[in-house]
């Protein structure tokens, strides 16, 4: 029996929390689409794998905590929080740590994550970026 959309989405979250860009790429469809909470879009598995690598350098302790999961056909909604420490110089300093409520929507097609959409308040990390930048 193929993996359910929920189990694929949960595997994607686990790969994010491990900062495992190879597994993220394996879970993405070739035409994968990432949409952030500002509506910015990145298309393509390779571009998004590189995007995750850059993000993990900028926020080296980035984590997602999922508290609730809702499924409907190929769509999976995960409600929880995102947090990390903005680290432009590679150092984790407490004053650059942020946490925000977030919702993640995964669209699963043919056993892969075709779309990953994030709904979160970007202000906590933007505030840290303004203070250090």
- Domains, the chain, in order of start with CATH, read 5-132 (3.10.450.50)
What is the pLDDT tens value at each position of the chain, 133 positions in all? 459 999 999 999 999 999 999 999 999 999 999 999 999 999 999 999 999 999 999 999 999 999 999 999 999 999 999 999 999 888 888 888 999 999 999 999 999 999 999 999 777 677 777 777 6
Q: What is the 3-state secondary structure (H, E, C) of 52-82?
A: HHHHHHHCCCCEEEEEEEEEECCEEEEEEEE
Sequence-distant (≥ 6) Cβ neighbours of residue 30 within 8 angstroms: 44, 45
Determine the pLDDT at residue 39: 93
């Amino acid at each position: 029996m193929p993996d359910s959309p929920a189990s694929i989405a949960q595997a994607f979250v686990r790969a994010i929390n491990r900062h495992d860009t190879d597994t993220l790429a394996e879970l993405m469809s070739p035409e994968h689409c990432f949409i952030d909470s500002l509506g910015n879009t990145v298309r393509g598995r390779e571009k998004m794998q590189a995007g995750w690598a850059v993000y993990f350098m900028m926020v080296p302790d980035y984590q997602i905590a999922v508290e609730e999961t809702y499924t409907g056909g190929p769509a999976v909604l995960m409600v929880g929080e995102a947090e990390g420490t903005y680290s432009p110089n590679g150092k984790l300093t407490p004053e650059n740590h942020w946490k925000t409520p977030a919702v993640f929507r995964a669209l699963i097609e043919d056993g892969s994550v075709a779309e990953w959409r994030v709904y979160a308040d970007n202000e906590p990390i933007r505030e840290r970026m303004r203070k250090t930048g």
